[in-house]
């Protein structure tokens, strides 16, 4: 990473409106691939003609292509305001390989891959009005894994990366900050990292299909803030739901979290979902809602209609399926299927059909346009932009509470299939996605499958495990075989010590 | 594969309790070797711990910031003074104070491994400061007669008390007694210096009164230490 051209002199720096000059500059880390670069620039020009609408609203892409700094996208900009010891905004992909990870090779693979993903080689910096990313040339070392993943992160520290690769035994993990990218982008990075790692061991993998060639030049479309492109000014705001019920529970000590993973057969789970006439995501989300209903039923404070509140689940989806884009930055939104227990207890079949309908209503490009537009327009509002960052952070925390966490009980994301290339798929036994929870949501879940292994991982910051238990026992009662493991084996803590049962 | 009879979920071989309900897992046949929770390490190592600044780095940053603050303050004082006068007047005194403050705060950081050297630098800086303040109007007066001798007497009292304290094996009430004797000696020296410097004659007065109060207290403390408390140390008496 030391082959960067020198920094341009201040007078040479491009101003926001100076578009012509920007085309002649390129990202400094990639000058050796000039020919490929030429082709990709040709492509860029034709692309750029398509993007006429985006230009009206956004200059971020212009910055990001060739500047040593670029702006956060319209989903990522909320996270820096929320960061604290208890809210990390990270998530993690972890692969269990069939042999001990060779750390040196993993480091070499990471070093080779880094310049293919220049948009991840950044540090988070504070501007006067907004946070921004600045290019980071520091080495990124593969680090040792810990009992409690995704803790003590130095996201805002100078020179610190917003992702890290961790190794323990036969397990390699990529911890990625949501400010940088969503699960789609992180999974491409992780897949490419594994491909490069196995290439160094002599197992060749064909590029393409979500595996990037480290020698290739990054395309400009990967930098894109796709939210700005698909915002339609004038679209009505999304309807705001009423506050949801939240899981009770005493917190675990600071800098700890419980990870509980359940493994089951993908084929069996798919067959079970099919028997309900649902997709796997709908089936698992419905099971999650049913488990939440069980927990609420058992909660003494939620007895009677007055004490109850709607149980709502956040189910994120990749927007690239609805709006064409190849961006590797955030581009996902969510549906909020819910049940209202004040209307009576829901049977599982009812929940499935409800979730199915609610998700197909929510994942409609026009409906999604409301939220995209709201998010983009809020950030571009002429009265919002000049608010100093300090005040903005305060308001963003409030907005996140009132328009975010407060509206849903928990979060369950189905990343889908890991789609590892054939060449090394058999060498990876399992892949999990781990989500750290927040004090508001307490317990959240992530699902990911590889081959026939479907892994459902709960991340929790509270002592009680009744939600995990309710979820997995529901699957077991449905006839599925589930194998469970956790990073915290012994059950102890204030809540357990005082428990009557 | 072993499973939890309460939850119905399977667990890895060798896991003792169910990860969901903590119920003990029944093992049939050969008991597998008990295993700590599977795929996660048992240690807690966070890369963040390695990013933390070392003590030397923190000291270096401290020195940098103190130096910058002292330089800015001195510059501002000189400039404000020069607004009304053609040459620095009152600001020289202020700048000298800032310089003393800088030496006193930076010396322990720069000489953190050599506390004696740091103390020597601070001591010398105080003497130099007194001489500089006095000499700014062109002639040396009170600093030579009173200021420097008082400072030296204070150093001598502190040093001899320190040596005496360090020589005691049991540090109990006798330490307080030694302190009282040191203070009495310093007060006598102080009055003597003041009287000589101001030309009031050598006969001491108030310092003798103070010494008369301090010496019996010290003697009583020595007695208590040696006979009544039998050499109990301060830590035991005050449960520090």
* Site from B40, B49, B53 to mutate, A interface, most A CB atoms within 10 angstroms: B40
Domain end among A210, A230, A250: A230
pLDDT tens track for A228-256: 999 988 889 988 889 999 999 899 988 89
Q: Which is nearest to A227 in space by CA: A296, A155, A119, A319?
A: A319
Same domain, B111 and B150: no
pLDDT tens track for A199-223: 999 999 999 888 999 998 888 888 8
Same domain, B167 and B200: yes
pLDDT tens track for B114-137: 999 999 999 999 999 999 999 888
- Is the pLDDT score of A186 beyond 50? yes
Same domain, A325 and A223: no
Same domain, B125 and B192: no
Same domain, B135 and B164: no
Q: Which is nearest to A282 in space by CA: A340, A355, A219, A349?
A: A355
Scan for tokens 């050796």, then name that residue. Answer: A32
Q: How far is B67 from chain A (nearest CA, A)?
A: 23
Average pLDDT, chain A: 85
Same domain, A130 and A191: yes
Burial class (CB in 10 A: 0-12, 13-18, 19+), B225: buried
Same domain, A183 and A69: yes
Same domain, A359 and A432: yes
Any idea which of A81-85, A357-361, B105-109 has the lowest mean pLDDT?
Answer: A81-85
Domain membership of residue A6 (yes or no) is no
Q: Which is nearest to A181 in space by CA: A73, A325, A65, A70?
A: A73
- Cβ-based contacts of B10 with chain A (< 8 Å): 481-484
- Of the pLDDT bands very low, low, confident and very high (cuts 50, 70, 90), residue B44 is confident
Same domain, A155 and A291: no
A84 versus A42: the higher-pLDDT residue is A84
Same domain, A221 and A90: yes
> According to the model, what pLDDT value does residue A43 have?
53
B137 Rama class: left (phi>0) / alpha (psi -120 to 50) / beta: alpha
Domain membership of residue A474 (yes or no) is yes
> According to the model, what pLDDT value does residue A26 have?
44
- Is the pLDDT score of A54 beyond 80? no
Residue numbers of B between 5 and 34 with CB closer than 8 Å to A: 7-12, 15-22
Backbone angles phi, psi at B207, to 5 degrees: -70, -30
> According to the model, what pLDDT value does residue B30 have?
62
Question: Strand A163-168 and strand A143-144: pairing?
Answer: parallel
Domain end among A212, A230, A248: A230
Please give the structure tokens belonging to residue A317: 């989806």
Task: Give the total number of structural domains in chain B.
Answer: 3
Same domain, B47 and B19: yes
- Of the pLDDT bands very low, low, confident and very high (cuts 50, 70, 90), residue A24 is very low
Average pLDDT over residues A428-448: 93
Task: Give the total number of structural domains in chain A.
Answer: 2
> According to the model, what pLDDT value does residue A4 have?
46
**Chain length of chain B:** 240
Domain membership of residue A238 (yes or no) is no
Same domain, A270 and A223: no
Same domain, A176 and A282: no
Domain membership of residue A162 (yes or no) is yes
d(CA A238, CA A368): 9
Same domain, A209 and A317: no
> According to the model, what pLDDT value does residue B131 have?
93
- Is the pLDDT score of A5 beyond 80? no
d(CA A221, CA A226): 9
> A interface toward B at CB cutoff 8 Å?
96, 141, 143-149, 151-154, 157, 160, 164, 166, 168-169, 171, 255, 259-260, 262, 465, 468-469, 472-473, 476-477, 481-491, 496
d(CA A17, CA A8): 17
Same domain, A213 and A335: no
The pTM (predicted TM-score) of the whole model is: 0.74
Q: Which helix (H) or strand (E) holds A434?
A: strand A428-434
Q: Which is nearest to A57 in space by CA: A389, A373, A392, A388?
A: A373
Is A482:A475 a contact under the CB 8 Å cutoff? Answer: yes
Domain membership of residue A343 (yes or no) is yes
Burial class (CB in 10 A: 0-12, 13-18, 19+), A279: middle
- Is the pLDDT score of A33 beyond 80? no
pLDDT tens track for A319-352: 999 999 999 999 999 999 999 999 999 999 999 9
Range of the domain at A409: 258-364+387-497
Please give the structure tokens belonging to residue A85: 């010891």
- Is the pLDDT score of A52 beyond 60? no
Burial class (CB in 10 A: 0-12, 13-18, 19+), A67: buried
- Cβ-based contacts of A255 with chain B (< 8 Å): 44, 46
Please state, for a pLDDT cut of 90, what percent of chain A lies above it: 59
Please state, for a pLDDT cut of 70, what percent of chain B lies above it: 89
- Cβ-based contacts of A496 with chain B (< 8 Å): 22
Domain end among B92, B124, B140: B140
Domain end among B93, B118, B140: B140
- Of the pLDDT bands very low, low, confident and very high (cuts 50, 70, 90), residue A153 is confident
B44 and A148: CB-CB below 8 Å? yes
Same domain, A93 and A216: yes
CATH number at residue A476: 3.30.559.30
pLDDT tens track for B78-97: 999 998 888 888 899 999 99
d(CA A222, CA A328): 5
CATH number at residue A169: 3.30.559.10
Q: At what angle do helices A348-362 and A280-298 cross, to 10 degrees?
A: 120
> According to the model, what pLDDT value does residue A174 have?
96
Please give the structure tokens belonging to residue B201: 């004659």
Average pLDDT over residues A41-56: 48
B41 versus A287: the higher-pLDDT residue is A287
B51 touching A (Cβ < 8 Å)? yes
- Is the pLDDT score of A415 beyond 50? yes
Residues of B64-79 as b/e, b for ≥16 C-beta within 10 angstroms? eeeeeebeebbeebee
List, in order, residues 6 or more apart from A291 with CB less than 8 Å away: A467, A470, A471, A474
* Site from A164, A469, A488, A499 to mutate, B interface, most B CB atoms within 10 angstroms: A469
B38 and A485: CB-CB below 8 Å? yes
> According to the model, what pLDDT value does residue B97 have?
95
Q: Which is nearest to A489 in space by CA: A311, A205, A258, A326?
A: A258
Domain membership of residue A27 (yes or no) is no
Please give the structure tokens belonging to residue A142: 């593969």
pLDDT tens track for A352-396: 999 999 999 999 999 999 999 999 998 888 999 899 999 999 999
Range of the domain at B101: 56-140
Q: Which helix (H) or strand (E) holds A318?
A: strand A311-318
Is A83:A89 a contact under the CB 8 Å cutoff? Answer: yes
Same domain, B60 and B120: yes
Same domain, B193 and B235: yes
Is A140:A160 a contact under the CB 8 Å cutoff? Answer: no
A56 versus B51: the higher-pLDDT residue is B51
Burial class (CB in 10 A: 0-12, 13-18, 19+), A253: exposed
Domain membership of residue A485 (yes or no) is yes
Average pLDDT over residues A280-307: 91
A123 versus A489: the higher-pLDDT residue is A123
Same domain, B91 and B116: yes
Domain end among A184, A214, A230: A230
Same domain, B70 and B157: no
Is A449:A430 a contact under the CB 8 Å cutoff? Answer: no
- Is the pLDDT score of B58 beyond 70? yes
């Amino acid at each position: 990473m030391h082959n960067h051209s020198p920094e341009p002199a201040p007078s040479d720096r491009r101003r926001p409106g100076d578009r012509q000059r920007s085309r002649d500059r390129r990202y400094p880390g990639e000058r050796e691939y000039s020919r490929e670069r030429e082709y990709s620039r040709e492509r860029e020009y034709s692309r750029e003609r398509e993007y006429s609408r985006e230009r009206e609203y956004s200059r971020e892409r212009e910055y990001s292509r060739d500047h040593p700094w670029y702006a956060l996208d319209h989903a990522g900009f909320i996270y820096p305001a929320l960061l604290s010891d208890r809210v990390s905004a990270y998530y993690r992909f972890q692969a269990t390989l069939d042999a001990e990870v060779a750390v040196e090779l993993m480091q070499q693979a990471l070093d080779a891959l880094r310049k293919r993903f220049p948009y991840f080689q950044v540090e988070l910096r504070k501007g006067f009005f907004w946070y921004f990313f600045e290019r980071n040339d520091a080495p990124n070392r593969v680090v040792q894994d810990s009992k409690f993943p995704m803790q003590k992160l130095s996201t805002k520290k100078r020179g610190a990366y917003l992702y890290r690769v961790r190794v323990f035994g036969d397990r390699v993990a990529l911890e990625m900050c949501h400010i940088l990218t969503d699960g789609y982008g992180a999974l491409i990075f992780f897949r490419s990292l594994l491909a490069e790692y196995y290439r160094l061991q002599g197992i060749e993998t064909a590029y393409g299909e979500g595996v990037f060639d480290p020698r290739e030049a990054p395309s400009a479309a990967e930098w894109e803030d796709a939210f700005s492109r698909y915002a339609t000014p004038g679209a009505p705001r999304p309807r705001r739901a009423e506050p949801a019920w939240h899981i009770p529970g005493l917190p675990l000590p600071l800098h700890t979290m419980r990870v509980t993973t359940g493994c089951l057969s993908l084929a069996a789970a798919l067959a079970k979902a099919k028997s309900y006439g649902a997709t796997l995501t709908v089936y698992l989300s419905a099971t999650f809602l049913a488990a939440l209903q069980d927990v609420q039923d058992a909660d003494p404070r939620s007895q009677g209609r007055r004490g109850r509140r709607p149980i709502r689940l956040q189910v994120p989806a990749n927007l690239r399926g609805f709006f064409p884009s190849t961006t590797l930055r955030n581009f996902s939104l969510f549906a909020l299927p819910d049940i209202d227990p004040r209307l009576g207890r829901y049977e599982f079949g009812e929940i499935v059909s409800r979730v199915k309908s609610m998700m197909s209503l929510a994942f409609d490009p026009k409906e999604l346009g409301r939220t995209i537009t709201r998010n983009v327009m809020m950030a571009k509002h002429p009265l919002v932009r000049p608010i100093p960052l300090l005040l903005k952070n305060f308001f963003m925390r409030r907005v996140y509470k009132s328009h975010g966490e407060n509206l849903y009980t928990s979060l369950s994301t189905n990343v889908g299939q890991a789609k590892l290339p054939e060449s090394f798929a058999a060498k990876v036994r399992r892949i999990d996605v781990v989500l750290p929870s927040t004090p508001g949501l307490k317990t959240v879940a992530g699902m990911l499958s590889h081959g026939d292994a479907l892994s459902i991982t709960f991340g929790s910051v509270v002592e009680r495990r009744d939600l995990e238990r309710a979820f997995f026992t529901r699957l077991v009662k449905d006839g599925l075989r589930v194998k469970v493991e956790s990073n915290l084996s012994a059950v102890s803590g204030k809540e357990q010590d005082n428990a009557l049962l | 594969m072993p499973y939890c009879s309460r939850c119905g979920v399977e667990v890895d071989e060798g896991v003792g309790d169910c990860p969901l309900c903590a119920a003990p897992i029944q093992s049939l046949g050969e008991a597998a070797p008990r295993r700590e929770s599977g795929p996660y390490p048992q240690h807690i190592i966070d890369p963040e711990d390695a990013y933390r600044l070392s003590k030397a780095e923190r000291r270096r940053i401290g020195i940098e910031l103190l130096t910058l603050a002292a330089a800015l303050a001195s510059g501002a004082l000189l400039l404000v003074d020069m607004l009304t006068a053609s040459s620095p007047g009152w600001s020289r005194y202020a700048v000298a104070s800032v310089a003393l403050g800088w030496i006193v705060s930076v010396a322990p950081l720069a000489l953190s491994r050599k506390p004696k050297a740091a103390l020597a630098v601070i001591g010398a800086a105080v003497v130099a400061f007194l001489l500089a303040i006095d000499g700014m109007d062109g002639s040396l007066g009170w600093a030579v007669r009173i200021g420097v001798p008082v400072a030296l007497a204070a150093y001598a009292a502190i040093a001899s008390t320190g040596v005496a304290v360090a020589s005691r094996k049991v540090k109990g009430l006798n330490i307080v007694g030694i302190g009282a004797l040191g203070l009495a000696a310093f007060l006598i020296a102080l009055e003597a210096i003041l009287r000589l410097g101001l030309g009031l004659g050598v006969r001491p007065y108030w310092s003798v009164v103070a010494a008369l109060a301090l010496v019996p207290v010290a003697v009583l403390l020595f007695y208590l230490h040696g006979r009544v408390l039998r050499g109990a140390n301060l830590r035991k008496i005050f449960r520090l």
